[in-house]
């Protein structure tokens, strides 16, 4: 809250009476020979941001050699996550790292950001879908219809598992669970009796401790240990509804267009560096902590029972496909991609898609 107050003061709101027209979206001005300065806010809290974005931003600031400096802010520090898209569009902040779903991006593909049920099985599915199966072009088209924001790049994060206060060993155990999760994932999980709860990211751990939440369906086990959720929950469900979260980088369109080409290229390289870091950090962490982590007991819903969840997901896909021609195009790609992976066999897929 202190940081948010400081931000508002810097933006000019505290001096409206003195200067009259000052607003958060005041025109961007760069003094001659001064470094370009951006404010970038991530969806992640401080502990998680140390891994999912900070190394790449530190690299950027170092290699930019004084020409540009990116100030990194964590979840809800300047703007509530649900308002990030509008804040970036209006110029309040310069760039965002998040999923499309959580920031309420006004495009028909936003539903696929975050955890779209069973669209991915492994983290490598995300870059494969974007770079080789056409999702890059679809996202560029969708955001090209929205003024003021430039979609830059998508990458993969961890799978979506449950960490809970009580064990989950059957679908019946999901009924009535109050769970912190993402918007679209929550809509899907509600079909099985889960009660999705929306609250600020940094409040989730305390909400579990006070009993306001029964658990969290927001990450894999790596994040549970990294951010402290493993300290307040006892059980980790090995079944997941998605093999990898889809997140993106976005920028205010005017600020992006104003960058010299070499700084755009540098930012693109640093995004790729961030995507690569997460691939190995999560992949190693998920396996290592399942085997060597001591804080949570692993539980599993039997495969034959979990198959009903997957079957329901495919019905959910068809419902989303009916919402727009572009959404149908994405769903058709998911279907073709997963069918190809199944046909390819191990190690691409074990069992059904």
**In this structure, what CATH number is given to the domain that contains residue 134?**
3.40.190.170
Report the number of distinct structural domains present in the chain. Answer: 2
Contact 337, 129 (CB under 8 A): yes
Q: What is the pLDDT of residues 240-271, one digit of tens each?
A: 999 999 999 999 999 999 999 999 999 999 99
Q: Are residues 179 and 254 in the same domain?
A: no
Q: Is residue 352 part of a domain?
A: no
Q: Is residue 177 part of a domain?
A: yes
Contacts of residue 66, defined as CB under 8 A and 6 or more positions apart, other chains included, come to 35
Q: Is residue 217 part of a domain?
A: yes
Q: Are strands 246-252 and 149-156 parallel, antiparallel or unpaired?
A: antiparallel
Contacts of residue 113, defined as CB under 8 A and 6 or more positions apart, other chains included, come to 98, 99, 100, 101, 102, 105, 246, 247, 248
The pLDDT, as a whole number, for residue 53 is 98
The residue behind tokens 């001064």 is 34
The pLDDT, as a whole number, for residue 350 is 86
The pLDDT, as a whole number, for residue 31 is 52
Q: Please state, in angstroms and rounded to a whole number, the distance separating the CA atoms of residues 29 and 11.
A: 13
Q: Are residues 76 and 105 in the same domain?
A: yes
Give Cα separations from 176 to 31, 193, 215, 298, 303 (angstroms). 56, 6, 11, 21, 22
The pLDDT, as a whole number, for residue 12 is 38
Q: Please state, in angstroms and rounded to a whole number, the distance separating the CA atoms of residues 244 and 225.
A: 18
* CB-count burial class (<10 Å; 0-12, 13-18, 19+) for 345: exposed
The pLDDT, as a whole number, for residue 352 is 59
* CB-count burial class (<10 Å; 0-12, 13-18, 19+) for 71: middle
Q: Are residues 147 and 40 in the same domain?
A: yes
Range of the domain at 73: 2-158+245-286
3-class SS shares of the chain: helix, strand, coil, % to 5: 50, 15, 35
Q: Please state, in angstroms and rounded to a whole number, the distance separating the CA atoms of residues 99 and 248.
A: 6
The pLDDT, as a whole number, for residue 162 is 98
Residue 104 DSSP SS3 = coil
Residues of the chain with pLDDT under 50: 1-2, 4-29
Give Cα separations from 201 to 47, 174, 241, 315 (angstroms). 12, 22, 20, 30
Q: Are residues 34 and 71 in the same domain?
A: yes
- Report the b/e string of 250-265 with b at 16+ CB within 10 A: bbbbebbeebeeebee
Q: Are residues 232 and 124 in the same domain?
A: no
pTM: 0.89
Q: Are residues 37 and 177 in the same domain?
A: no
Q: Are residues 116 and 249 in the same domain?
A: yes
Alpha helix segments (H runs only) across 42-124? 46-52, 54-63, 84-89
Q: Is residue 353 part of a domain?
A: no
The pLDDT, as a whole number, for residue 55 is 98
Contacts of residue 294, defined as CB under 8 A and 6 or more positions apart, other chains included, come to none
The pLDDT, as a whole number, for residue 13 is 37
- Among residues 10, 9, 254, 30, which one has the least CA distance to residue 149? 254
């Amino acid at each position: 809250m202190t940081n948010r107050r400081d931000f508002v003061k810097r933006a000019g709101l505290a001096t409206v009476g003195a200067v009259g027209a000052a607003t958060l979206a005041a025109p961007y001005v760069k003094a001659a020979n001064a470094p370009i300065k951006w404010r970038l806010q991530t969806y992640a809290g401080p502990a998680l941001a140390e891994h999912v974005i900070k190394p790449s931003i530190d690299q950027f600031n170092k290699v930019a050699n004084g020409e540009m400096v990116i100030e990194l802010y964590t979840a809800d520090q300047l703007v509530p996550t649900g308002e990030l898209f509008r804040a970036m569009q209006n110029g309040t902040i310069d760039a965002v790292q998040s999923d499309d779903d959580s920031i309420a991006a006004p495009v028909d593909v936003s539903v696929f950001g975050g955890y779209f049920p069973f669209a991915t099985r492994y983290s490598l599915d995300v870059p494969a879908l974007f770079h080789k199966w056409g999702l890059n072009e679809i996202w560029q088209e969708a955001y090209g219809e929205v003024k003021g924001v430039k979609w830059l790049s998508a990458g993969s994060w961890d799978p979506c598992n449950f960490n809970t206060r009580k064990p989950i060993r059957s679908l019946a155990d999901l009924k009535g669970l109050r769970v912190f999760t993402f918007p679209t994932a929550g809509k899907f999980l509600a079909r099985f009796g889960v009660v999705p709860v929306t609250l600020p990211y940094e409040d989730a751990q305390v909400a579990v401790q006070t009993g306001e939440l029964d658990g969290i369906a927001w990450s894999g086990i790596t994040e549970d240990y990294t951010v402290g959720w493993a300290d307040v929950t006892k059980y980790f469900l090995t079944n997941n509804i998605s093999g990898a979260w889809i997140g993106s980088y976005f920028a205010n369109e005017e600020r992006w267009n104003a960058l010299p080409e070499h700084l755009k290229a540098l930012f693109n390289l640093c995004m790729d560096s961030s995507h690569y870091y997460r691939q190995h950090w999560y992949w190693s962490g998920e396996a290592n902590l399942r085997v060597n982590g001591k804080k949570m007991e692993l539980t599993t819903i039997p495969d034959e029972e979990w198959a009903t969840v997957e079957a329901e997901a495919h019905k959910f896909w068809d419902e989303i496909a009916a919402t727009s021609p572009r959404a149908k195009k994405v769903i058709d790609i998911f279907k073709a991609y997963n069918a190809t992976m199944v046909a390819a066999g191990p190690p691409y897929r074990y069992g059904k898609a």
